[in-house]
Amino acid sequence: MLRFYTVLVMFLIVTSFITPLHYSIAQKSVLPEWIRNIFLWYGQKQISEQELLQAVEYLISQRIIEVTTQNANKIIDRGDFFVTYYSNPNSIYEYSAREWIQDFQYFETQIEYLNSEFLLPYDIEIVAKECDETNAFYDWQTKQIIICYEFMDYVYENFESNYGNEYTTEDKSLMALNVIDFVFYHELGHVLVDIYQLPITGLEENAVDQFATFFMLLSEAESDYEGIVGQDILFDVGTWFLIQAELDYEPIYWDTHGLDIQRFYNISCYAYGQHPQYNQDLITEGWLPEERAVNCEYEYSVLESSWNEILAPYYKKT
């Protein structure tokens, strides 16, 4: 009987993490009788310990009962994203980057969405400020996403210098905002990897590029958008990386970020893989080589399924 009580105690511990799939706990205060009989038979020595364990394994394998670790990866929602705007006194424009991004209410819109989606163990601050450099980054020590006003100006200037009067100021402004969107979600990817301790293989910079692409393409599921909003945003992002690749500067091969031309091809591939029909011009106009395009649908499907699985425990349940 000692072995029985040992097994029974083990079972009771396990069942504290068991959810019966075919029975509602709210409706039944005890386990179904036929499951309890298994342990009764064992106590009466009608079945062996090995047969008991086989019975439990069968119940689990058939998903009659499901073993779950209730507290694994459980994040208690104690935080929110919030934004802080610092002054922009050294702007070279009368209409400063601070005024521009605030008028769009870009961060406010993103914050409302992200706070409705993610469980956060603590607050994450989004900081818009002058940095004395052209940059955007995540500071894991202070838990801040930093978006520099100089970077916002730089992105707009890239489109201005490349397109001139070909597009209106409003068009170029929206192109710049789309790039800011990608960069923000890239940095958000770093945030999630950090606060959730997500498993990442390979370079984290590549992984969060994929996350940014994946999250921006979530809009493709919205029928009102006709499946092209995220795609059009990525077109501007890819164009910007192509502009960077064509600028006269020395490539930094040792950097953890991929080369700009590689990021252009990767983003183009993911966009094509998610929506080949909409992106045939990438092939016909020679922007994406067929040798890469042939695997892009598979590449995107792996990207999408991987991020969906990794992030699943951290979404708020609605």
Looking at the fold, whether 107 and 62 belong to one and the same domain comes out as no
CA 279/CA 235 separation, integer angstroms: 10
Domain assignment of residue 190, yes or no: no
Residue 237's domain spans which residues? 198-318
Q: Which residue has the higher pLDDT, 208 or 9?
A: 208
Looking at the fold, whether 41 and 106 belong to one and the same domain comes out as no
Domain assignment of residue 312, yes or no: yes
H/E element, 11: helix 2-15
CA 229/CA 181 separation, integer angstroms: 13
306 has a pLDDT exceeding 50:
yes
Q: What's the pLDDT at 210?
A: 95
Domain assignment of residue 177, yes or no: no
Domain assignment of residue 38, yes or no: yes
Q: Name which of 190, 103, 86, 88 is nearest 144 in CA terms.
A: 190
Looking at the fold, whether 49 and 112 belong to one and the same domain comes out as no
pLDDT, tens digit (0-9, with 9 covering 90-100), for 94-141: 999 999 999 999 999 999 999 999 999 999 999 999 999 999 999 999
Last-in-domain residue among 12, 41, 67: 67
Q: Kindly state the DSSP code that residue 256 receives in the 8-state scheme.
A: S
CA 38/CA 142 separation, integer angstroms: 55
- Reported confidence tier of residue 56, pLDDT bands at 50, 70, 90: confident
54 has a pLDDT exceeding 90:
no
Q: Please give the structure tokens belonging to residue 70.
A: 């209730």
Q: If you search the block for the tokens 């011009």, which residue do you land on?
A: 281
Looking at the fold, whether 117 and 93 belong to one and the same domain comes out as yes
Mean pLDDT of 174-182: 95
Q: What's the pLDDT at 117?
A: 93
- Average pLDDT over the chain, rounded to an integer: 84
Q: Which residue has the higher pLDDT, 266 or 39?
A: 266
Q: Please give the structure tokens belonging to residue 53.
A: 């364990």
Looking at the fold, whether 31 and 77 belong to one and the same domain comes out as no
Looking at the fold, whether 139 and 208 belong to one and the same domain comes out as no
Q: What's the pLDDT at 23?
A: 37
Domain assignment of residue 260, yes or no: yes
Number of domains present in the structure of the chain: 3
93 has a pLDDT exceeding 70:
yes
Looking at the fold, whether 318 and 205 belong to one and the same domain comes out as yes
Domain assignment of residue 54, yes or no: yes
- Reported confidence tier of residue 219, pLDDT bands at 50, 70, 90: low
Q: Which residue has the higher pLDDT, 193 or 247?
A: 193
Looking at the fold, whether 298 and 221 belong to one and the same domain comes out as yes
Contact, 41 vs 54, CB < 8 A?
no
Q: What's the pLDDT at 21?
A: 41
Domain assignment of residue 303, yes or no: yes
Looking at the fold, whether 243 and 271 belong to one and the same domain comes out as yes
Domain assignment of residue 283, yes or no: yes
Last-in-domain residue among 13, 38, 67: 67
19 has a pLDDT exceeding 80:
no
Q: Which residue has the higher pLDDT, 231 or 177?
A: 177
Q: What's the pLDDT at 213?
A: 93
Looking at the fold, whether 312 and 218 belong to one and the same domain comes out as yes
Last-in-domain residue among 67, 84, 102: 67
Looking at the fold, whether 98 and 122 belong to one and the same domain comes out as yes
- Reported confidence tier of residue 26, pLDDT bands at 50, 70, 90: very low
Mean pLDDT of 152-160: 95
Q: Please give the structure tokens belonging to residue 57.
A: 């394994």
Looking at the fold, whether 317 and 240 belong to one and the same domain comes out as yes
